[in-house]
Structure 1
Amino acid sequence: MDFLLLQLLIALLLLPSLGIERNSTDGIIHFQVGVVLDLNSPVGLIGLKCLSMAHSDFYSFHRNYTTKLVLHLWDSNETVIDAAGGVLDFLQNVEVDAIIGPQKSTQANFVMDLGDRARVPIISFSATSPSLIPRTPYFVQTAQSDADQVEGIASIVETFRWNQVVIIYEDTEYGNGIIPYLSNALQDVNTRVSYRSAFPKSATDDFICKELRNMMTMQTRVFVVHMSQRLGARLFLKSKELGMMSSGYAWIVTSGLTDLFNLMDLDVVEAMQGVLGVKPLIPKHKALDSFATRWNTMSLQVNGNIEQTEVSIFGLWAYDTLWALAMAAERVGNKKLNAIKNAVDSNSESPFSLGISNTGPKLLKEILRTRFQGLAGLFHLANGQLKQTPYQIVNVVGKSEREVGIWSPSRGISKEVILNVTSSYSISKENFRSIIWPGGSVIAPKGWEFPINGKKLRIGVSKKSGFNEFLKVVKDSQTNAAEVSGNFKEVFDSVMAALPYAVPYEYVIYPFENSDGSSAGSYNDLIYQVSLQEKYDAALGDITITANRSIYVDFTLPHAAGGVASVVPIKYEDANDKWTFLQPLTTELWLMSATFYIFTGLSIWILGKRIDTSCRDSPGQHAGMICYFPFFPGQGIEGNLICLVLVTWAFVASLLISTYTASLSSRLTVQRLQPAVTDVMKLIRSGDYIGCQEGSFLIDFLKRLGFEESKIRTYKSTDGCDEALTKGSSNGGISAYFDVLPHINILLTEFCGKYMIVGPTYRTGGFAFAFPKGSPLVADVSRAIIQLTENGTIVDIGQLNSSNSACAGPESAITPSSMTLQSFQVLFAITGCVTMSCLLVSLIMYIYKNRGFLQGISIFNVNIWSRIHALCGYFKQINLSSRSKAGDTKNQILELEEVG
């Protein structure tokens, strides 16, 4: 037994490549750990103190452990080169088993490849840039990634309905790493990043002021700040100097600034009043309270009069990091000792031939699977970084941060931590506690303001010579100001007055024509000018929403209905036409009436042939009798059937006669109006000229319908349209005029009874106000339009025009169209069924009375034509009951047999 123990001690002494040393004085296995920190920074000092406390606490609590971490400190002096030098020194000279640090994301980005080559885990509790993972498995973030907080920030923005934000960030690895994640999160809640402002780490005060003044000229008043403590403090001091920490502004800072708020100078704290911030939520428990007490006691001994403050999350992450590393080292050390002991006990192989050359991979594996309840919460690594936890939303009020909400990835925003697993995701202003905003305001900022350059919102209005019934623009010769009137102007004024805030604006003329009458622009040009925001901030007029225009600007909801229709001249029908008497009924109805008349006459002739002896006359006489037979009374059962057919036919005939008389009377007394052209496709096929309003979207619209551009003529006024329609396409005019419905109604009203609408009405987006892309006014103006539409303030343009119109329109003079066959289908079906039923009854009676003859001819072998000839001859006999006898019938049968 003593021999085996001796072999074990020798093996431990001869394994320096593991980085494990046997201390001859205390009998403990030592793991060498390098620590790379910036000792001139708050995070570095806090991290070092917490690592020292964690080292002392861990081994005081685990006195029976056979392993111990030996810490080697290196000051990186806040530079990448010094950090890399320290890592190289630890790997080459100290032969460390793990490295804690470096502190900054920029440093970690440079040195992580060194750890990967040496297969030594580099563990950072303060490098939080999302770009660092997963470049190498040997780099471990025992801190939450900055990407974990972006959804919480986006939820705040979404709650207060801010549709634009400005991102201000530090132009370093730490600052740039979060930008793609933050931009995507804001985009997911339909918020536009209107501007990104990158500040160099060495930015001067002049640079900061210049950039802030540039942002003051923008409409956006919501700023998300992601910076280190020193640069962030300077930013807020300058923001307060420039008046950007006043009412109407909203500031949100990320956890890097929020966590170190307690270390800010008082003047910086005063400048940050009203700021919202997010930071990882630290659950309250006894171990944390005990640590905080000892932390404040130690700080008091160092500084003398320091106030009690919360422990930085970076310090807690440093504390938990050392505990996790110590636990992992203990498991690695125990496994190696057990392997060596088993090898010695079995005497199967030398413990020196186990092939173990590096503890780095084993230590990394154990660190990644370590899980325990630390000071900062549950220590649980996922994909090489600390797993996401809820975030605390705080509000800077006075000298401290006040919690106003909790955000969690599964529950959204709430006033406290929600433990109910069935709760759904929720964001609402009611889920926040009271917030004090910059300037001491308790009302949430709307998120945007007009630039403070003294300019009003410039509303572009179109000045044109015609089609100005809804918006008339006149230029004041003395002041050059725009004098605007009309329904559209009244609607716009009402909408702007209905907004929950005041918006100063003025009307700026956009000319459609030059002084010589030539065209100076179009609605498309006006829309493009609005998108540039150089002369116009919005546009007002009879502007139709189109897909092409929506590429350049954002439209509000339509305030007036749209639609495109065409008008053509009216052609009056000649009441003295020689064929007028045929027009009351359609051709199909005339043919059907004649058919049923002949059918009824033929049916009556068949039913009455056994009574009237005149049926033996010539064929011409038979045809004449078919025409007048319906007027002869019948006798016996055949007479009853004839009466039934006659009554039914008389009912249908009387209705036809009544309808015909009424329609013919109307046509002879009232003029009938007809469109000169009835089909749009006919216009395209014939190559006729058509017209539309100058400067509108209708040229492209008509080209899509199939018209050639050379066949489209534009007009500036309704008078020009009237003149062109009067001339016609063959005389230098047009055959049809296309325009939006409000202007079509104006044309029909002005020239009452002269034109009429033909063809389909093509649907369009309607009239709306145009604003630049991303304008925050669009949503509020649209809501105001809905509100005023519902309460009746905004009346549809079509209704307004029709109510003021003195012309009832040409449609009122149009007589009903010709009666069609469809109107009499049921009546013809009834008379047809009655007639066929009577013929069937007569046929059955005939077959029953002459069954003997029919049976007789059926038994002889004669051809079919002979039988038909015999039947016809037999059918011609008029008084069969008085003249025919049994013998006669027998003789006819015998004759038929001889013929056969």
Structure 2
Amino acid sequence: MSLIICFFVLQLLTWSRVLLAHESRNNCSRSIMSIGAVLDLSSQMGKHQKIAMQIALQEFNRLSCSKLDLKIKNSHRNSANAVASALDLAQRKKVLAIIGTITHNEATLASEFNDTIKDIPILSLISPIARSKQLSPLLPQFIQVGHDINLHMQCIAAIVGEFRWRKVTVIYELNNLFSSDPGMLLDLTYALRHVGSEIDNHLPLPSLSSLSDPKSTIESELNRLKNKSNRVFLIVQSSLELANILFEKAKQMGFMEKGCVWIIPDGIAGHLDSVNPSVIINMQGVIGFKTHFMETSDALRRFKFKFRRRFALEFPEEENINPSFFALQSYEATLAVAQAAKESEWKFTLEQLFRTNLSRNRKLQQSPTFNIINVIGKSYRELALWSPALGFSKNLVTQQLTEVMKTNTASTGVLSSVYWPGGLQFVPKGWTHGTEERTLQIGVPAKSVFHQFVKVNNTSITGFSIDIFKAAVSNLPYYLKYTFVPFNGSYDEMVKQVYNKTLDAAVGDTSIMAYRYHLVDFSQPYVESGLDMVVREQSTKSKETWIFFDAFTKEMWLMLVALHIFVGFVVWLIERQVNAELKGLGSMLWFLVTVIFYAHREQIKSPLARTVLAPWLFAIYIASGTFIASLTSRMTISQLEPSVLDIQTLQERNSPVGCDGNSFIVNYLTDVLEFKPENIRKINSLRDYPEAFQNKDIEAAFFVSPHAKVFLAKYSCHGLIKAGNTFRLGGFGFVFPKGSILATDISEALLKVIENGKAEQLETDMLSIEGNASCSPLESKTKDGSPTGFQPFLVLFCICFTVAILALLYNTI
């Protein structure tokens, strides 16, 4: 009985609620208003956006007295259709607002035909090139809800920088967005330059809607890349449908094999959850990024359920049904417009929209975080997160980015487990040997005085500088196609040719100077440099009274005298006990003098004294022979010194000096060292220098240090020597245009050549060839006139000292 009573009570409550709801609806004024939508319904993104907007209005109408209707216009990927759709929605449909993939330029053009559009709030779901802080003066009711596309370009550049690819190929679809926002490539260029990379090739693809045979057109466009060397492909802007065809053809043409790299943007990666398996098969190894959003909330689960059900009913041909971020974005934007319209009693402006909804829902405009993904198998895996403020992070669950590392420095290692195209397990080089690459025109000095550095023949160009450059190029992370172009002007003129972009670079023995840095960039110096002075040698045969002292060093003389006195003293102590001729101190002193010349007449009677004296007499014999030889050398062979010791002497004498007429040294001598221009002789051949010294046309010659080494290795036996101090300079480097990334790459490669010893070995080989071919045997006599030290006699002196000590101890005991 109680159960029956409870049942009737519940029934009564249910009917009462229904009646109350019906009464409240009767009291509502069910006015019908419209919201317009301009979408590309032929694309996957447009289908997602349509379903999401319909769900948003369905939820709003269920809880509201008034009804909002959605008027959808299909743009068919055509800008003219988008403008016509906006005009139709504003004029005929009388919509409250327009939401969709309409660009600012399209909305502006529509407003030129009808001023009423200026008063209708327009929410663009397209990512703008730069988010404006203020409303456009032409369209005060226009707002772009999408994320700043510059953040997408930064994310692409961060991935490129993570793997240190220096050159990339950019692929983009010439659709409405790209045509209206050409600054996208400029943003990408700046972002790539920040990580040390640059755009090598461009591949613009026509809009898919404009192609009658898309597959053949894309195949012919990809054929343009066949003979290019770069294999790092960045898709910066494309519809999902065009990307599907692109990857299908890329796989057929071998662009998805080992060594290739593909990076896809949010517009493609964000829809991978909804594409057919055949599309995923063609994209194996691709990396990309998609907007990160939380998928664990109850509201999102309800939205996904409704989306899948409605999408399956309207598009039954689609296999995978998962809402993308773009669907969620359209859903939230539509709800925001509907709520603002309700609160403003259906007469709202963009300011009202900001005040009522967008100001509370920051998800529509906050800076995004991207998931870095890698396509593998039947789906993809998430590798890391990236945000513009924090860079890469390994945390893939929440947005609390830990272990943050900047991407504009060294590789962070966060993206270390990427599956690459072709199943490659290590980072691809990103280049191959191409046949149609532009050949860099690299100038080399044809009039170089020092052919050891650059030698231009009819058939070849060789030399130390050329070998260093080739070794550096072999260490580049990409293929560099170049040719050497002989340049017949001066070094400064060659540098100006690089500055004017007539030459792409210059290789040779070019000095890095401050005044040249205003025009061009230099590589890392591959050899140190300075300014050296070379003069003639002059004889310094000494007639001094005390020249014999120069035969030994001061230490040797002190050692000889001290040990001689000590040994003589020990002999005297032993002998005076048994020898009457050596009892007095005077006789001992006389004995010390005569024993040097083996002229002592005193007979040594004690066997112990003879034991002490014998090794010392041998030491005296060796030292005397060395002394005679050294003194004879000094008396008979001329000792050499520079004829001029410093630059001040040259200036005081007003002496003529010589240098390479094509180098910077001429200006350096006049501007820095203050030589008179009339005293400077320009010499343009290496063999002319010895003749100029012999004819006394010059008293000194100035070379940069590497040139001085080569010159002295070849002509030092001709009586020439380096003198004075070395003025430090910047070294030899290769010349590149300002801002050239190749200069940075070559510098890094040069460091590797220097660190592995290759540069030093090449320099040693160059100097050894010149040195071996220069001097005859008669000219190769030694010029070392340094006095003899005690080191050669150290063992002999130790023996004599030890014997004398032992004998003294034995005699004392």
Q: TM-score, normalised by structure 1?
A: 0.61
Distance 1:223 1:137, change over 3 A: farther
Distance in 2 (CA, whole Å) between partners of 1:255 and 1:777 is: 30
User: Helix, strand or coil: the match of 1:725?
Assistant: helix
Distance 1:800 1:380, change over 3 A: same
Answer yes or no: is the 8 Å Cα contact 1:91–1:118 preserved in 2. Answer: no
Structure 2 residue 191 is the aligned partner of structure 1 residue 185: yes
Distance 1:236 1:419, change over 3 A: closer
Structure 2 residue 147 is the aligned partner of structure 1 residue 158: no
Which of 725, 730, 734 does residue 698 from structure 2 map onto?
734
User: Helix, strand or coil: the match of 2:732?
Assistant: coil
Corresponding residue for residue 257 of structure 2: 246
Deviation at 1:720, TM superposition (A): 0.6
Which of 290, 300, 304 does residue 292 from structure 1 map onto?
304
Answer yes or no: is the 8 Å Cα contact 1:146–1:178 preserved in 2. Answer: yes
Structure 2 residue 234 is the aligned partner of structure 1 residue 224: yes
Distance 1:471 1:187, change over 3 A: closer
Distance in 1 (CA, whole Å) between partners of 2:481 and 2:306 is: 61
Which of 286, 291, 309 does residue 280 from structure 1 map onto?
291
Deviation at 1:156, TM superposition (A): 0.7
Distance in 2 (CA, whole Å) between partners of 1:233 and 1:754 is: 77
Distance in 2 (CA, whole Å) between partners of 1:572 and 1:559 is: 38
User: Helix, strand or coil: the match of 2:425?
Assistant: coil
Distance 1:446 1:701, change over 3 A: farther
Which of 755, 758, 775 does residue 720 from structure 2 map onto?
755
Distance in 1 (CA, whole Å) between partners of 2:511 and 2:198 is: 25
Which of 430, 443, 447 does residue 426 from structure 2 map onto?
443
Distance in 2 (CA, whole Å) between partners of 1:293 and 1:32 is: 26
Distance 1:772 1:197, change over 3 A: farther
Show the 5 A alignment for 1:6-21.
none
Deviation at 1:721, TM superposition (A): 0.7
**Unaligned stretches of 5+ in structure 2?**
1-23, 548-633, 788-813
User: Helix, strand or coil: the match of 2:413?
Assistant: helix
Distance 1:435 1:772, change over 3 A: farther
AA of the residue aligned to 2:511: T
Deviation at 1:802, TM superposition (A): 8.5
Distance in 2 (CA, whole Å) between partners of 1:557 and 1:686 is: 39
Answer yes or no: is the 8 Å Cα contact 2:644–2:650 preserved in 1. Answer: no
AA of the residue aligned to 2:49: G
Distance in 1 (CA, whole Å) between partners of 2:358 and 2:764 is: 73
Residues 298-337 of structure 1, C-alpha deviations (whole Å, 9 max, x = no match): 343445464334312221111111222233233323xx9x
AA of the residue aligned to 2:415: F
Distance in 2 (CA, whole Å) between partners of 1:238 and 1:744 is: 60
Corresponding residue for residue 374 of structure 2: 395
Answer yes or no: is the 8 Å Cα contact 1:370–1:380 preserved in 2. Answer: no
AA of the residue aligned to 1:53: I
Distance in 1 (CA, whole Å) between partners of 2:636 and 2:416 is: 82
Distance in 2 (CA, whole Å) between partners of 1:362 and 1:561 is: 66
Distance in 2 (CA, whole Å) between partners of 1:560 and 1:387 is: 52
Show the 5 A alignment for 1:213-362.
213-229=223-239, 230-261=241-272, 269-285=280-296, 286-304=298-316, 306-333=318-345, 358-360=347-349
- Choose 398-407 or 565-574, whichever is displaced more: 565-574
Answer yes or no: is the 8 Å Cα contact 2:86–2:110 preserved in 1. Answer: yes
Residues 115-151 of structure 1, C-alpha deviations (whole Å, 9 max, x = no match): 8864321123346454777424411233323223222
Residues 197-255 of structure 1, C-alpha deviations (whole Å, 9 max, x = no match): 54443478687566545555554432322233144445445544554333323222222
Distance 1:364 1:714, change over 3 A: same
AA of the residue aligned to 2:191: A
Distance 1:123 1:266, change over 3 A: same
Distance 1:487 1:454, change over 3 A: same
Residues 696-719 of structure 1, C-alpha deviations (whole Å, 9 max, x = no match): 443454454355767644434432
Structure 2 residue 767 is the aligned partner of structure 1 residue 767: no
Bigger Rg, which one: 1
User: Helix, strand or coil: the match of 1:724?
Assistant: helix
**Unaligned stretches of 5+ in structure 1?**
1-21, 337-357, 373-378, 513-519, 581-665, 816-900
AA of the residue aligned to 1:87: A
Deviation at 1:523, TM superposition (A): 5.3
User: Helix, strand or coil: the match of 2:511?
Assistant: coil
Corresponding residue for residue 167 of structure 1: 170
AA of the residue aligned to 1:679: I
Distance 1:810 1:528, change over 3 A: farther
Distance in 2 (CA, whole Å) between partners of 1:411 and 1:699 is: 53
Answer yes or no: is the 8 Å Cα contact 1:112–1:138 preserved in 2. Answer: no
- Choose 277-286 or 161-170, whichever is displaced more: 161-170
Which of 393, 396, 399 does residue 414 from structure 1 map onto?
393
Distance 1:811 1:696, change over 3 A: farther
Answer yes or no: is the 8 Å Cα contact 1:457–1:503 preserved in 2. Answer: no
Distance in 1 (CA, whole Å) between partners of 2:90 and 2:416 is: 51
The alignment's C-alpha RMSD in Å is 4.8
Answer yes or no: is the 8 Å Cα contact 1:679–1:758 preserved in 2. Answer: no
Distance in 2 (CA, whole Å) between partners of 1:24 and 1:183 is: 61
Distance in 2 (CA, whole Å) between partners of 1:267 and 1:314 is: 23
Answer yes or no: is the 8 Å Cα contact 2:642–2:723 preserved in 1. Answer: no
Which of 135, 139, 143 does residue 140 from structure 1 map onto?
143
Answer yes or no: is the 8 Å Cα contact 1:51–1:322 preserved in 2. Answer: yes
Answer yes or no: is the 8 Å Cα contact 1:129–1:174 preserved in 2. Answer: no
Distance in 2 (CA, whole Å) between partners of 1:761 and 1:555 is: 22
AA of the residue aligned to 2:704: V
Distance in 1 (CA, whole Å) between partners of 2:425 and 2:111 is: 47
- Choose 204-213 or 429-438, whichever is displaced more: 204-213
Distance in 2 (CA, whole Å) between partners of 1:401 and 1:104 is: 31
Deviation at 1:492, TM superposition (A): 6.0
Deviation at 1:153, TM superposition (A): 1.5
Deviation at 1:675, TM superposition (A): 3.2
Distance in 1 (CA, whole Å) between partners of 2:224 and 2:636 is: 79
Deviation at 1:524, TM superposition (A): 6.0
Distance in 2 (CA, whole Å) between partners of 1:38 and 1:481 is: 60
AA of the residue aligned to 2:120: V
Distance in 1 (CA, whole Å) between partners of 2:745 and 2:305 is: 52
Distance 1:701 1:309, change over 3 A: farther
Deviation at 1:756, TM superposition (A): 3.6
Distance in 2 (CA, whole Å) between partners of 1:96 and 1:502 is: 56
Residues 528-570 of structure 1, C-alpha deviations (whole Å, 9 max, x = no match): 8889999x99776544344576688765433322112222334
User: Helix, strand or coil: the match of 1:311?
Assistant: coil
User: Helix, strand or coil: the match of 2:326?
Assistant: helix
Distance in 1 (CA, whole Å) between partners of 2:481 and 2:54 is: 64
Deviation at 1:407, TM superposition (A): 0.8
Distance in 2 (CA, whole Å) between partners of 1:80 and 1:493 is: 51
Distance 1:199 1:509, change over 3 A: closer
Answer yes or no: is the 8 Å Cα contact 2:645–2:724 preserved in 1. Answer: no
Deviation at 1:280, TM superposition (A): 0.9
Deviation at 1:174, TM superposition (A): 1.5
Residues 612-633 of structure 1, C-alpha deviations (whole Å, 9 max, x = no match): xxxxxxxxxxxxxxxxxxxxxx
Which of 678, 690, 705 does residue 646 from structure 2 map onto?
678
Distance in 1 (CA, whole Å) between partners of 2:25 and 2:91 is: 21
Distance in 1 (CA, whole Å) between partners of 2:456 and 2:79 is: 65
AA of the residue aligned to 1:393: I
Distance in 2 (CA, whole Å) between partners of 1:454 and 1:138 is: 49
Structure 2 residue 41 is the aligned partner of structure 1 residue 39: yes
Answer yes or no: is the 8 Å Cα contact 2:447–2:489 preserved in 1. Answer: no
Structure 2 residue 97 is the aligned partner of structure 1 residue 98: yes
Answer yes or no: is the 8 Å Cα contact 1:543–1:769 preserved in 2. Answer: yes
Distance in 2 (CA, whole Å) between partners of 1:504 and 1:94 is: 60
Distance 1:700 1:210, change over 3 A: farther
Corresponding residue for residue 563 of structure 1: 530
Distance in 2 (CA, whole Å) between partners of 1:94 and 1:273 is: 46
Distance 1:764 1:451, change over 3 A: farther
Distance 1:793 1:197, change over 3 A: closer
User: Helix, strand or coil: the match of 1:718?
Assistant: coil
